[in-house]
């Protein structure tokens, strides 16, 4: 019966999904056209990825061409020998292939806090002069996460800023906020990262939180300085809302549930494999279509990209269980789901815009956005609170019910003080009984092989959980999480002199794992959260 259900279910929604997100236009900067790698390199891109010239699909799309790209394409087109060895040699002749840079993150016997302070300069990149390969130029210096992540990342940067703030690096924070403002003004939104292959999607909208960090250092006028950019970001997430109706309930990132009830989802403007994970996406789409013949590969790609926009790429949050009762990536259906964290972040964006208008002396505009925030708060409490689970859960709008996946996204309503006191107590109980592990909070209790599931814990979600619990005076539990997380970070550092992207919080003798690539060293948001928590 399950196989029949899934086939019918996917057939019923795939046509809608194909038109749910509009395509983005090619963007030009000066006289140079910014193109994703599949358009920039043509057949060379597909041959490199399909023939597995590099173990990591991201390596080639980050490579820097040593010659004019048009010339490289023409020479490759005329290349007679296209064996993997020949292609590899061709790429090495014509591109500067990026390394991981991991060795440079090692240190001497410095304390962990000193190590992190030194790492800011290691992870810092100068302002970019021009378009180079797939890198989108930024006008100011910035911090990258580290390892294979050689560019700025949107939501990572907020948590990185927490550490920069603790270390007094206010100028760097200002530069980074200005870079994001530049991206909004140039493209109308903040891409996943400053790469051409990220121009179809964003990431969790933390820009308003970044403005708040900078305002804490430079004063309330900062809110007014970035008001226009916050409004533009809001318009990006709400695009298509005016076109929604009972007969047309979804457009891009907005979904209408009841009359005038509008909430948001993650989406992506392109239904193709992600260039930086090309082989992985093609494999997943092939498996999904084989299991559900009425589904299209384009639908799978859209859902994979939407999962990437969430920052949780990937997690059981976005999956169904397969016929064997296991969460499996080929069941991914991210665009069916209204995420509790995204809508909590947009509530905060509405509140922050209202505050900016107040600082600017525009009371009617402020009241308008206060009303939007209050309406969203009511919807969050209506649709995301699960009475059965006593926890905030994502909502599947196609099935008209909450998903069955417990995750730390359920702490965002506490982080932004949306939850009632009674709800917060129930959430705290669930955190202590389900999520709290020897090394801190596990992302979900599900073991799926995906990196945003058990046994992994991530720095940003520790911060969300700790601060959210403190907002409701759950201080003892918050401090227990903090102490376990910091101790795990210290223990790993003591043995490796590394700060990692994610950690195994269930078995402290083992490394983290899962996902599409090995655990990375560096690491921006881990550094930021550690500095902030240890500096309290």
Helix H or strand E segment including 78: none
Assign 18 a pLDDT band (cuts: 50, 70, 90): very low
251 phi, psi to nearest 5 deg: -145, 125
**Binning pLDDT at 50, 70 and 90, where does residue 259 land?**
confident
Residue 436, SS3 per DSSP: strand
- If you average pLDDT over residues 493-507, what whole number do you get? 94
Q: What is the DSSP letter of 431?
A: I
Q: What is the pLDDT of residue 105?
A: 64
184 vs 131, residue with greater confidence: 184
Please give the pLDDT value at position 4: 33
pLDDT 10s digits, 71-115: 999 999 999 999 999 999 999 999 999 975 444 566 666 799 999
Task: Give dist(CA 526, CA 459) in Å, integer.
Answer: 5
pLDDT at residue 27 tops 90: no
Q: What average pLDDT does range 266-283 have in this prediction? A: 95
> Mind spelling out the 3-state secondary structure of 4-52?
HHHHHHHHHHHHHHHCCCCCCCCEEECCEEECCHHHHHCHHHHHHHHCC
pLDDT band at residue 3 under the 50/70/90 scheme:
very low
pLDDT in tens, 379-394: 999 999 999 999 999 9
Token output for 374: 């209050």
Please spell the DSSP secondary structure of 60-121, one letter per residue: HHTPEESS-HHHHHHHHHT-S--SHHHHHHHHHHHEE-----GGGG--SS--HHHHHHHHHH
Residue 497 has pLDDT above 60, yes or no: yes
Please give the Cα distance from 326 to 22 (Å, whole number).
33
| pLDDT for residue 300 is more than 50 | yes
Q: Is the pLDDT of residue 131 over 80?
A: no
**Confidence band for 442, pLDDT divided at 50, 70 and 90:** very high
Catalytic residues: 313, 501
Length of the chain: 536
State residue 109's pLDDT score. Answer: 65
Which pLDDT score is estimated for 62?
96
pLDDT beyond 70 at 213: yes
H-type alpha helices, 124-169: 154-166
The dihedral through the CA atoms of 59, 63, 69, 73 has a sign that is negative
HEC readout, 116-133: HHHHHHHHEECCCCCCEC
pLDDT tens digits for range 138-177: 999 999 999 889 999 999 999 999 999 999 999 999 999 9
**Mean pLDDT to the nearest integer, 416-425:** 98
Q: What is the pLDDT of residue 89?
A: 97
Mean pLDDT score across all residues of the chain = 92
Whether 135 has a pLDDT exceeding 50, the answer reads yes
Minimum mean pLDDT among 97-101, 165-169, 328-332, 351-355: which range?
97-101
Report the alpha-carbon angle 90-94-98, nearest 5: 100
Does 24 score more than 70 pLDDT? no
Tell me the C-alpha to C-alpha distance, in Å, between residue 233 and each of 154, 357, 509: 13, 16, 43
Q: Which of 17-26, 70-79, 259-268, 315-324 bottoms out in mean pLDDT, i.e. has the lowest?
A: 17-26
Handedness of CA 42, 48, 49, 54 (dihedral sign): negative
Residue at token pair 């891009």? 252
> What are 211's two structure tokens?
């403005």
Give the residue from 437, 517, 510, 494 showing the smallest Cα distance to 115. 494
Measured CA to CA, the distance from residue 184 to residue 137 in angstroms comes to 13
Q: What is the pLDDT of residue 507?
A: 96
Q: How confident is the model at residue 220 (pLDDT cuts 50, 70, 90)?
A: very high
Q: Is the pLDDT of residue 336 over 60?
A: yes
Pick from 296, 318, 304, 319: nearest CA to 274: 304
Confidence band of 1 (pLDDT split at 50, 70, 90): very low
Whether residue 467 is predicted with pLDDT greater than 60 in this model: the reply is yes
Topology given in CATH for the domain delimited by 102-267+337-534: Glycosyltransferase (1.50.10)
As a whole number of angstroms, the distance between CA 246 and CA 269 comes to 23
Model pTM?
0.93
Predicted pLDDT at 519: 82
pLDDT at 110: 79
Q: Where are the domains of the chain?
A: 2-23+268-329, 35-96, 102-267+337-534
In 244-285, the DSSP E strands lie at 250-251, 254-256, 262-264
Residue 146's SS3 state is strand
Backbone angles phi, psi at 214, to 5 degrees: -65, -35
Strands 401-402 and 436-437 turn out to be unpaired
Average pLDDT over residues 268-280: 95
Q: Assign 28 a pLDDT band (cuts: 50, 70, 90).
A: very low
- For the cut 90, the answer to whether the pLDDT of residue 284 exceeds it is yes
Residue 323 tokens, joined: 């016929």
């Amino acid at each position: 019966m399950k196989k029949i259900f899934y086939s019918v279910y996917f057939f019923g929604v795939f046509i809608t999904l194909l038109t749910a997100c509009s395509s983005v236009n090619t963007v030009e900067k000066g006289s140079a056209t910014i193109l994703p790698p599949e358009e920039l390199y043509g057949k060379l891109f597909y041959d490199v990825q399909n023939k597995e010239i590099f173990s990591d699909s991201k390596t080639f799309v980050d490579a820097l061409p040593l010659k004019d790209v048009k010339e490289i394409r023409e020479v490759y087109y005329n290349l007679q020998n296209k064996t993997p060895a020949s292609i590899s040699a061709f790429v090495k002749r014509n591109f500067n292939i990026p390394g991981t840079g991991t060795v440079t993150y090692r240190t001497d016997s410095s304390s962990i806090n000193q190590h992190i302070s030194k790492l800011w300069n290691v992870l810092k990149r100068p302002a970019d002069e021009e378009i180079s390969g797939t890198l989108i130029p930024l006008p100011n210096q910035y911090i990258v996460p580290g390892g294979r992540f050689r560019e700025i990342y949107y939501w990572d940067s907020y948590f990185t800023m927490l550490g920069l703030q603790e270390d007094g690096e206010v100028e760097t924070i200002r530069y980074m906020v200005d870079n994001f403002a530049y991206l909004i003004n140039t493209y109308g939104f903040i891409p996943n990262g400053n790469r051409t292959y990220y121009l179809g999607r964003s990431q969790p909208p933390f820009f308003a939180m970044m403005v708040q960090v900078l305002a804490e250092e430079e004063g309330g006028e900062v809110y007014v300085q970035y008001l226009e950019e916050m409004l533009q970001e809001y318009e990006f997430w709400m695009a298509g809302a005016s076109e929604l109706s009972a007969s047309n309930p979804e457009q891009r990132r907005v979904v209408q549930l009841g009359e005038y009830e509008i909430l948001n989802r993650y989406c992506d403007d392109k239904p193709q494999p992600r260039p930086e994970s090309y082989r992985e996406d093609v494999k997943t789409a092939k498996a999904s279509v084989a299991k559900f013949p009425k589904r299209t590969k384009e639908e799978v790609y859209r859902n994979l990209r939407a999962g990437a926009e969430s920052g949780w790429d990937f997690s059981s949050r976005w999956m169904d269980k397969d016929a064997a009762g296991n969460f499996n990536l080929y069941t991914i259906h991210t665009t069916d789901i209204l995420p509790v964290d995204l809508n909590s972040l947009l509530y905060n964006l509405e509140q922050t815009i209202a505050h900016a208008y107040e600082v600017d002396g525009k009371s009617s505009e402020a009241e308008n956005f206060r009303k939007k925030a209050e309406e969203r708060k009511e919807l969050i409490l209506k649709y995301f609170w699960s009475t059965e689970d006593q926890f905030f859960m994502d909502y599947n709008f196609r099935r008209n019910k909450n998903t069955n996946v417990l995750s730390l996204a359920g702490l965002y309503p506490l982080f932004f003080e949306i939850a009632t006191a009674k709800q917060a107590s129930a959430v705290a109980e669930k955190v202590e009984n389900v999520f709290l592990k020897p090394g801190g909070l596990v992302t979900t209790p599900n073991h799926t092989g995906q990196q945003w599931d058990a046994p992994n814990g991530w720095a940003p979600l520790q911060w969300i959980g700790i601060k959210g619990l403190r907002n409701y005076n759950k201080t003892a539990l918050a401090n227990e999480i903090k102490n376990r997380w910091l101790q795990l970070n210290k223990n790993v550092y003591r043995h490796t002199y590394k700060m990692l992207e994610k950690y195994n919080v269930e078995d402290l003798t083992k490394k983290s794992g899962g996902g599409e690539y090995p655990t990375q060293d560096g690491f921006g948001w881990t550094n930021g959260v550690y500095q902030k928590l240890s500096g309290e």
